[in-house]
Amino acid sequence: MPSTSSAAGSGLIGLIGLIGLRDRVQALGGSIEVNSSAGEGTAILVELPLQPD
C-alpha cells in the first residue's frame, strides 16, 4: 500500500482542497489568491461579496 505521508502525496491532497475552495468561492461570486514561499508559509486571501440586508 502506498504511503500517504510523502511530500508528493500531501501536495496532491492540498491541491485538491484548494481546487474545491476555489470552486466554492467562485460559486459565491468571490475571488481567491494563494501566495506561498518556501520556508515562509502560505497565505490565502478570500474575498466574498456582502449580500444586502
Q: What is the pLDDT of residues 9-26, one digit of tens each?
A: 567 777 788 899 999 999
The pTM is what? 0.64
Q: How many domains does the chain have?
A: 1
Q: Given pLDDT bands bounded at 50, 70 and 90, which one contains residue 6?
A: very low
> d(Cα 35, Cα 13) in Å, to the nearest integer?
17
β-sheet bridge partners, residue 47: 31
Q: What share of the chain is helix, strand, coil (3-state, %, to 5)?
A: 40, 25, 35
Assess if residue 53 is contained within a domain. no
Assess if residue 16 is contained within a domain. yes
Q: Which of left, alpha, beta for 39 (phi over 0: left; psi -120 to 50: alpha)?
A: left
- pLDDT of 9: 55
Q: Given pLDDT bands bounded at 50, 70 and 90, which one contains residue 4?
A: very low
Assess if residue 32 is contained within a domain. yes
Q: Which amino acid appears at position 8 of this protein? A: A
Identify the domain containing residue 43 by its residue range: 7-47
Assess if residue 24 is contained within a domain. yes
Assess if residue 14 is contained within a domain. yes
Residue 37: how many CB atoms within 10 A of its CB? 8
With H, G, I as helix, E, B as strand and everything else as coil, classify residue 5. coil
- pLDDT of 45: 97
